[in-house]
Amino acid sequence: MSATLRHPGTVLTDHVFSVPLDHGRPDGERIEVYAREVVAAGKEHQDDLPWLLFLQGGPGHGAPRPVGPDSWLGTALRHYRVLLLDQRGTGRSTPVNRQSLALRGGAPEQAAYLARFRADAIVQDAEAVRRSLLGEGHRWSTLGQSFGGFCTLTYLSHAPEGLEACFVTGGLPGLRAGAEDVYRAAYPRVAAKNTAHYVRYPQDVEAVHRIVEHLSGHEVRLPDGSPLTVERFQTVGMLLGQTSGSDALHYLLEDAWIRGASGPELSDTFLEAVRAQVSLAGSPLFAALHEPIYAQRSVSPLGTRWAAHRVRDEFPAFDAARALAAGEPVALTGEMIYPWMFDTDPALIPLREAAHLLAERGDWPDLYDAERLSANEVPVYAAVYHDDMYVDTAHSLATARAVARVRTWVTDEWEHDGLRVSQGKVLDRLTGMARGEV
């Protein structure tokens, strides 16, 4: 029986669905997928209220845990009954992490299991949920944030009959962009975000230099006991793609040093803040599947092969040792996953061999059907952020031109997290476009 509770202004209902691990084998192993239904208080018995499925960014992140009609949810609840889906492997769905994967067997078995957690399987889960909640013949709309937008294009490719309309924020993928293409486009964007940060906070050039010099000559460990190397520290640049990320990075650097018994050393406050940024204990699927979400056999038949790591050599600005020697700012990295992460992060070390197998796999099914998308009949309203650090704007606009019935709103008012931080303004704009008001 579904559990229901009330928050201020909202009514929340739990749903758990049993779905095949492999939808191609419906009689095989099954897993659970969890979803939370949210409706505005007073509308819970309004049977004709249309449904909006929220597809979270990631991969590997659970859906938001609402405490009321705040942020974009308040805007959505004016028009929809919202379903917050914990995509397979995340949140309250059957979990995937070092603990559960240990039950699968060796690295080959673990890699085969992980391969079942991409967008194509997520879409098939969503269709099973739609049929269970709405019944055959009833459609719903979707809101896809970031990776959720990637899932949306997969949905439109493989099951558009279930969709009424689609809203996408910061998540139109390159339909024919392999992992190398993605990172070759990403590094210059990340470099530009670094430049903008150092213009805003010029004192941080020296602050980062000092930290990098210290890490280069000392063994430093985070509070969880894992090593903090120069390359691992550089990944705090992930912050720079968020609306207030540059400020957050500056404040993190402010707390870097404390005087200890043997002189200046990196403070526990700083090291814990860095651990919170670089640890992937809460989202191991983000690391294991981050490059495979771009893998399609017709695009990259040789596999992804740690594309971010290989392509990085083409951009010497991210070579910290070279930058120090030249007296130049050290560039921090962004949304990249590197093989050494599976040697340093305690949550990822047990996944190391499986991750390497996934990186070498070349027979990934295609996620997008270009021919079907060119004849798409489902209206799509997409916010494309002009300076998005995580998703390439040029790739997004090329996709918008290739897919029928896509209408874009290109804006530099918000960063990639605009849906979350705009207090509903981003979603309000998109739903207004759908209603013909904009």
CATH number of the CATH domain containing 48: 3.40.50.1820
Of 360, 376, 404, which residue sits at a domain end? 360
Looking at the structure, do residues 257 and 348 belong to the same domain, yes or no?
Answer: yes
State the catalytic residues. 146, 363, 416
Q: 45 and 134 share a domain? A: yes
Instruction: Kindly state whether residues 61 and 183 are assigned to the same domain.
Output: no
Residue 367 burial by CB count (10 A; 0-12/13-18/19+): exposed, middle or buried? buried
Per-residue pLDDT of the chain in tens (438 residues, 90 and over written 9):
478 899 999 999 999 999 999 999 999 999 999 999 999 999 999 989 999 999 999 999 999 999 988 889 999 999 999 999 999 999 999 999 999 999 999 999 999 999 999 999 999 999 999 999 999 999 999 999 999 999 999 999 999 999 999 999 999 999 999 999 999 999 999 999 999 999 999 999 999 999 999 999 999 999 999 999 999 999 999 999 999 999 999 999 999 999 999 889 999 999 999 999 999 999 999 999 999 999 999 999 999 999 999 999 999 999 999 999 999 999 999 999 999 999 999 999 999 999 999 999 999 999 999 999 999 999 999 999 999 999 999 999 999 999 999 999 999 999 999 999 999 999 999 999 999 998
* Same structural domain, 243 and 299: yes
* Whether residue 331 sits in one domain with residue 416: no
Q: What local confidence, expressed as pLDDT, does residue 68 receive?
A: 86
Model confidence, pTM: 0.96
Choosing from 300, 329, 360, the residue where a domain stops is: 360
How many domains is the chain built from? 2
Query: Is the domain of 14 the same as that of 120?
Result: yes
Per-residue model confidence (pLDDT) at position 1: 47
How high is the pLDDT of residue 226? 98
What is the helix (H) or strand (E) element at residue 432, kind and residue range? helix 425-434
Considering the domain architecture, whether residues 171 and 183 belong to the same structural domain is answered as no
For residues 171 and 187, membership in a common domain is answered with: no
Listed in sequence order, the residues at least 6 apart from 112 whose beta carbon sits closer than 8 Å to its beta carbon are: none
Q: Are 395 and 48 within 8 A, CB to CB?
A: no
Strand extents, DSSP E, 74-113: 81-86
Choose one of 330, 360, 390: the last residue of a domain: 360
Looking at the fold, whether 190 and 108 belong to one and the same domain comes out as no
Give the pLDDT score at 39.
97
pLDDT at residue number 3: 84
Residues 331 and 387 in one domain: no
Return the closest-CA partner of residue 63 out of 91, 43, 88: 91
Q: Is 166 found in the same domain as 52?
A: yes
Domain range holding 144? Answer: 4-175+368-434
Same structural domain for residues 285 and 407? no
